[in-house]
Amino acid sequence: MLKKRLVCACFALAGLVCLPPVFGQDATRQLLEQLSNAPGPPGAEEAVRAIMVAKMKPLSSSLSYDGMGSVIAQMGSAGPRVMVDAHMDELGGMVRRLTPNGFLTMQMLGGWLDQALVDQRWIILGSKGPVHAVTGIRDIHVLPAEDRGKVFPRNMLYLDVGARNAEEAAAMGLEPGDPVVPDSQFLVMNGTDNYLGKAWDDRVGCAVLVEAMQRMAKQNHPNQLFFAATTQEEVGLRGARTAAEVIKPEIAIAIEGGIAGDTYAHHPEETQAKLGAGPGLFLFDSSAMANRKFVALVKRTASEKGIPLQLDLVQGYGDDSAEIQESNGGVPTINLVAPLRYTHAHNGILNRKDFDQLVDLVVDLLTELDAKTVTQIRDFAPAQ
C-alpha cells in the first residue's frame, strides 16, 4: 500500500493523474510538458518510466527492461541492430539525515553548481507522498558584508520542510534515502516557441524517442531499431552500459540536451551552439568522440534534407554514447542534441523548432542505416 501511494504521488507530479486536462495544446507540446514536469532523479525514474512505457509499448514489437530499470523497445526483426538512446533521469538529490531541529541534509545527485542550489524549491518523494521543501539562505540583514558576494557551499544547505523537529519530519513520511527533485513547472515563455522547464537534460531526448517511434511505425525501415530510455546517466552513465549489454548494437545514436552558448557570448570557446539555430552534433566531449564516418553521414543527411546542423565541441560534458561505444566489441556512435540554455539547474529553456528538426534528423538517419551503410561505417580496413 505504501509503495502504491508513492507511485501514485509520482504519477500526479508527472501529470498522469489527478491533474486537470490541458486544452489548446498540440500533442508534442503536451508530451514535452508531461516529461519535463515528471519527477525522476537518478535511481527514482518511476514516473518517467511510466510515461515512456505508455507511449513506447503500443509502437514496439517487444518491450523489455534491463536490471537497472531502463526501457528497451524494439521495432523490426531484420537488418543491423541500431540503438537509439536517451536517459530518463535528471539532476536531483537524496535525503541524508533528519536533524534534531527538523531540517534535512541532502546528498546531491549529478553535476550541480553550488550557486544553483540556494533558495530553491524542491519536492521530496516521501513514503506518504510528495513533500515540498526549500533550501534556505542566510538573511542579508545578518550576513557580514565580506560574505555577501560569496557562493553558499552545498555543505551549509538544509532542506526546510516546515517541521519543528525530526519527529515531525518523520511523520511526513520522510527518511534517509528519499529522492529529491527540483520543483519547477513547465511553461511557454510569453507566447514564443521557447519552453521553460526542468529536466530538459534529458527529457528532450525521451520525447525524441517517442516521436521518432511514432514516425518510424508508419514507414518501412531497413534495420532492427532498439529505442532505449535509460537510467542513472547523471551519476555515471550506468543505464546505458547495461542497456547496451542487452541490445548488443552494431551502431548507435545518443540523444541529449546540448549547451547553448548565446547567453554568455564572451566565452566563445565553451560552446558554439545557439538556441533556435537547429539541432547539434557533438564532435567531442569529455567522455566520447564521435565516429567520423557516422559524422559524415549526419552532415550529408542534414544538408540533403535542409536541416540546419550545429557542430559543437564541449569539455566537462559526458553522455551515454561513451558507454555504448565501448560495448559489444566497439560501436560507432554519435551524440545528437537539442541546444539548451541553463542545463543542470532548476530552469532550462528548449526551443521547439530545434526539437522538431532534431526529430526530423533522427528519423532521416534511421531510414538510411541499412546493412550496407552500417557495414561501411564499421569498416576500419585501410584503403587499398
Dist. CA 229–CA 27, nearest whole Å: 20
The verdict on residue 364 lying in a domain is yes
Q: Is 87 annotated as a binding residue?
A: yes
Q: What is the pLDDT of residues 156-172, one digit of tens each?
A: 899 999 999 999 999 99
pLDDT of the residue at 266: 62
pLDDT of the residue at 8: 52
Same domain, 31 and 167: no
Structural domains of the chain, count:
2
Same domain, 55 and 138: no
Same domain, 106 and 23: no
CB proximity list for 141: less than 8 A, separation 6 or greater: none
pLDDT of the residue at 15: 46
Q: Is the pLDDT of residue 351 over 70?
A: yes
The verdict on residue 281 lying in a domain is yes
The verdict on residue 50 lying in a domain is yes
Q: Is 262 annotated as a binding residue?
A: no
Dist. CA 332–CA 326, nearest whole Å: 9
Same domain, 226 and 366: yes
Instruction: For residue 263, give the CATH number of its domain.
Output: 3.40.630.10
Q: Which residue has the higher pLDDT, 32 or 136?
A: 32
21 pLDDT band, cuts 50/70/90, is: very low
Same domain, 19 and 75: yes
The verdict on residue 383 lying in a domain is no
Cell 536533524 sits on residue: 99
Boundary of a domain, candidates 149, 182, 215: 182
Q: What is the pTM of this model?
A: 0.91
CB proximity list for 187: less than 8 A, separation 6 or greater: 195, 196, 197
2 pLDDT band, cuts 50/70/90, is: very low
Q: Is the peptide bond before 178 cis (omega within 30 degrees of 0)?
A: no
Dist. CA 363–CA 215, nearest whole Å: 7
Instruction: For residue 101, give the CATH number of its domain.
Output: 2.40.30.40
33, 45, 90, 233: which is the annotated catalytic residue?
233
**7-16, 126-135, 320-329, 330-339: range with lowest mean pLDDT:** 7-16
Dist. CA 366–CA 339, nearest whole Å: 21
Q: Is 234 annotated as a binding residue?
A: yes
Contact between residue 216 and residue 26 where contact means Cβ atoms under 8 Å apart: no
The verdict on residue 83 lying in a domain is yes
pLDDT of the residue at 23: 43
The verdict on residue 53 lying in a domain is yes
Same domain, 283 and 169: no
The verdict on residue 333 lying in a domain is yes
Angle 46-56/27-37 helices, nearest 10 degrees?
Answer: 150
CB proximity list for 76: less than 8 A, separation 6 or greater: 61, 221, 223, 224, 225
For range 369-381, the mean pLDDT: 97
pLDDT of the residue at 10: 53
Comparing CA positions, the residue from 202, 211, 193 lying closest to residue 234 is: 202
Q: Is the pLDDT of residue 24 over 90?
A: no
Boundary of a domain, candidates 182, 197, 213: 182
Same domain, 113 and 231: no
Q: Is 256 annotated as a binding residue?
A: yes
Same domain, 262 and 210: yes
pLDDT of the residue at 25: 59
Contact between residue 233 and residue 367 where contact means Cβ atoms under 8 Å apart: no
Q: What number of H helices and E strands is found in the chain?
A: 10, 18
Comparing CA positions, the residue from 196, 197, 159 lying closest to residue 179 is: 159
Q: What is the pLDDT of residues 245-291, one digit of tens each?
A: 999 999 999 999 999 988 876 666 778 899 999 999 999 888 889 99
Mean pLDDT of the chain, nearest integer: 92
Dist. CA 97–CA 175, nearest whole Å: 7
Domain that holds residue 142: 94-182
Same domain, 37 and 51: yes
18 pLDDT band, cuts 50/70/90, is: very low
Question: What value does the CA radius of gyration of the chain take, rounded to a whole number of Å?
Answer: 21
For range 6-10, the mean pLDDT: 51
Q: What is the pLDDT of residues 109-118, one digit of tens each?
A: 999 999 999 9
Boundary of a domain, candidates 182, 198, 221: 182
pLDDT of the residue at 17: 39
Q: What is the pLDDT of residues 48-74, one digit of tens each?
A: 999 999 999 999 999 999 999 999 999
Q: What is the pLDDT of residues 297-342, one digit of tens each?
A: 999 999 999 999 999 988 878 899 999 999 999 999 999 999 999 9
Q: Which residue has the higher pLDDT, 236 or 17?
A: 236
The type of residue at 32 is L
pLDDT of the residue at 22: 43
Same domain, 225 and 140: no
Among this protein's residues, is 250 annotated catalytic?
no
For range 134-138, the mean pLDDT: 88
* Residue ranges in the chain assigned as alpha helix (H): 2-14, 27-37, 46-56, 166-171, 200-216, 238-247, 292-305, 321-325, 352-368, 371-378
Same domain, 259 and 350: yes
Same domain, 319 and 356: yes
The verdict on residue 384 lying in a domain is no
Percent of the chain topping pLDDT 90: 80
pLDDT of the residue at 143: 81
Q: How many CA atoms lie within 13 A of 73 on its CB side?
A: 23
Residue 162 backbone zone (phi > 0: left; psi -120 to 50: alpha; other: beta): left
Instruction: Describe the chain by its helix, strand, coil percentages, rounded to 5.
Output: 35, 25, 40
Give the cell for residue 287: 567522455
Contact between residue 207 and residue 355 where contact means Cβ atoms under 8 Å apart: yes
